[in-house]
Amino acid sequence: MTSRGKHGIEVLYDPSLNKSTAFTEAEKQALGLVGLVPDVTETEDLQLQRVMMQLGHKNTDLERYIYLINLLDHNETLFYRTVMSDPARFLPIVYDPTIGEACQKFGHIYRQPRGMYLSITRRGKVEEVLKNWPQKDVRFICVTDGGRILGLGDLGANGAGIPIGKLQLYTACAGVPPQYLLPMYLDAGTNNEHYLHDPLYLGLRRTRPATSELYSFVDEFVEAVQEVFPKCCIHFEDWTGADAVHLLQRYRDKYCVYNDDVQGTAGITLAGMINATKIKGTKLKDEKYLFLGAGSAAIGLANLLCSALVAQGMSLKEAQSRVYMFDINGLLEASRTDLLDFQKPYAHKHAPTRDFVAAIESIKPTTIIGVSTVGGAFNQKVVEAMSKINQRPVILALSNPTEKAECTPEQAYTWSKGKAIYAAGVQFAPVHYNGQTFLPGQANNFYIFPAVGMAIFATQSKRVTDEMFIEAGQAVADQVPPELLKQGLLYPLQSNVLETEIQTAARVAKLVFDSGLSRVTRPDDMVAFIRKHVYKPEYRTEARAGVAA
Ligand code: NAI
């Protein structure tokens, strides 16, 4: 008797089949496992208890991360059962902020291969390499070239931890079954001298190629995916800003692709902006926005925000006129000659300035959005300037990991004397100020991309559109109850993330059907349709494990 062609020790070495100490006597007999595992049959709850106890003995989140990845390598069901048992506790360990440190040390903490590693030296053979992946029906590839990992810059092959973590969130947050997910690192070299000289670095030891060479490699990859995995959606993650925007433009109308830094960030920030206007009693169209940072996250958000404003009846020009940006060289304004094509719509007539506070005083934004990768950039002067011109200044400090946040909630609430409406890209604890408790929300795209992913998975959508991210943002915003809005919370609580994302996925799926992009029959009940696709972290029944097969 075999389990999907596997028998005996092979079953224990397959993390999707391994039940460790939970095999029944019948399974042990049928699969040739007698004597290969302790002679007990534990419940999944008891196994979870052991995991929790062992995690309790770890001293740092990085150690907990390594432990959990090791668990995933051996027992996928128990890993997801653990993470899904308490998302608020485990998301910060398997993803932000721990993932930042895990990536920086990727070559040092490496244990086992996970996903695929495709080097530019394989050009001409990419299709052949993709065929080495054992799973034939891949629905999502999350791919990075390590060009801009979180706010940490070019990490090259160390960035491979990001697609691994992102795809775990598809499952943990929205229930996309893990067997359809493929993390991918495209290795085109790195300009990070530190890693180039690290003997334990796991990537090509060469600097990055010219953009044209990189893009022709990515072209071959994207085309090969269409051949090898025809139902696959490609999720681009953590490329440099210019590459992120250009590659999205290059493929979005031709293939099923999206860029989470551009579109996912935009969706989640839009959700926060919608809820900030609910707290203030205004409308999106009444607001004026100033970004610190004009890279992929800023441009993606500005474009999506403008699309949302246009959908509400504003002209595109008018919508763009509400959005200002400030980058490493100062305010984007019409006389600047160093701007990229996609930044120009946000460069308005204004005197040049490199002083962010002066820009606030002159532009008078109602909302500032930090996507600069510069921790502490929203200093006391910035917050005070915003508080002077706004009853309720909206301050979104989105850069991550934690030390890159443009300001902490404590700073925002203290410096604004409790007036700020604040969210960050990472999770911060509630803040007590002046007798009030403020709940800083986490503007993290894990509320968006797993839900959009689930909608794509269930509907087999042919394309990914901006409208899908606007709908996801609106759906996330709608799920924050008024009593939490009152405490300044812009985003739903993490403890209920799966249910939140099922509701969001159902709304996005409806849009997919309405837009004629689906490849499956439209169901009557969209939420039930999504639920039907949701992965549950439970061991397969004996029949599924092959005992009765
Ligand atoms: P990027 O590299 O494309 O852009 C960074 C921008 O910041 C550039 O325009 C650069 O000129 C500007 N900048 C750098 N130093 C500056 C300074 N001293 N003053 C003013 N501007 C400065 O990066 P991307 O993709 O736009 O991401 C930016 C940050 O946003 C990262 O930390 C990333 O982790 C974070 N992010 C957060 C997300 C969330 O869900 N909270 C999602 C995506 C990104």
84: domain CATH number is: 1.20.1370.30
How confident is the model over 56-62, as a mean pLDDT? 97
Spell out a b/e string for 533-548, using b for 16 or more CB atoms within 10 Å of the CB, else e: bbbebebeebeebbbe
- Going from the Cα of 370 to the center of ligand 1, the distance in angstroms, rounded, reads 7
From 446, 465, 489, the end of a domain falls on: 446
Query: Which of 150, 166, 261, 447 to mutate to test ligand 1, by most ligand atoms within 8 A of the CB atom?
Result: 261
Q: Is-catalytic flag, 532?
A: no
**Contact status, residue 522 vs residue 458, Cβ threshold 8 Å:** no
| End-of-domain residue from the set 59, 93, 127 | 93
Would you call 95 a catalytic residue per the annotation?
yes
Question: In this structure, is residue 374 part of a structural domain?
Answer: yes
Residue 533 confidence (pLDDT) above 80: yes
**Residue 351 belongs to domain with CATH number:** 3.40.50.720
pLDDT at 548 over 50: no
Last residue of a domain, one of 446, 473, 498: 446
Count the neighbouring beta carbons within 10 Å of the beta carbon of residue 236: 27
- Is 156 among the domain residues? no
Measured distance CA(461)–CA(467) in Å, rounded: 13
Determine which one of 65, 80, 95, 201 is catalytic: 95
Structural domain harbouring 37: 9-93
Residue 157 counted as domain residue: no
* 308 lies in some domain: yes
Q: Per residue in 342-369, pLDDT tens?
A: 999 999 999 999 999 999 999 999 999 9
How many CB atoms are closer than 10 A to CB 227?
A: 11
User: Is position 309 within any domain?
Assistant: yes
Q: How many percent of the chain have pLDDT more than 90?
A: 91
Residue 411 lies in a domain: yes
Contact residues of ligand 1, CB 6 A cut-off: 148, 150-151, 240-241, 261, 265, 268, 292-298, 326-328, 371-374, 398-400, 404, 425, 443-445
Cα-based distances in Å from 192 to 198, 208, 465: 10, 9, 34
Which residue among the candidates 19, 28, 166, 510 is catalytic per the annotation? 166
Contacts of 284 (CB under 8 A, 6+ apart): 273, 274, 277, 305, 308, 309, 312
Higher-confidence position of 216 and 493: 216
Among protein residues, the one with the nearest Cα to ligand 1's atom 12 is: 293
| pLDDT grade for 541, boundaries at 50, 70 and 90 | low
Give per-residue pLDDT as tens, 213-242.
999 999 999 999 999 999 999 999 999 989
Distance, CA of 373 to CA of 290 (rounded, Å): 16
Task: Say whether 6 sits in a helix, a strand or coil.
Answer: strand
Span from the CA of 545 to the centroid of ligand 1 (angstroms): 46
pTM: 0.91
Number of domains the chain contains: 2
Is residue 456 one of the residues assigned to a domain? Answer: no
Residue 346 falls within a domain, yes or no? Answer: yes
Mean pLDDT for the stretch of residues 315-330 = 97
> Which numbered atom of ligand 1 lies nearest the CA of 241?
3
- Is the model's pLDDT at 405 over the cut of 50? yes
pLDDT tens, position by position, 381-394: 999 999 999 999 99
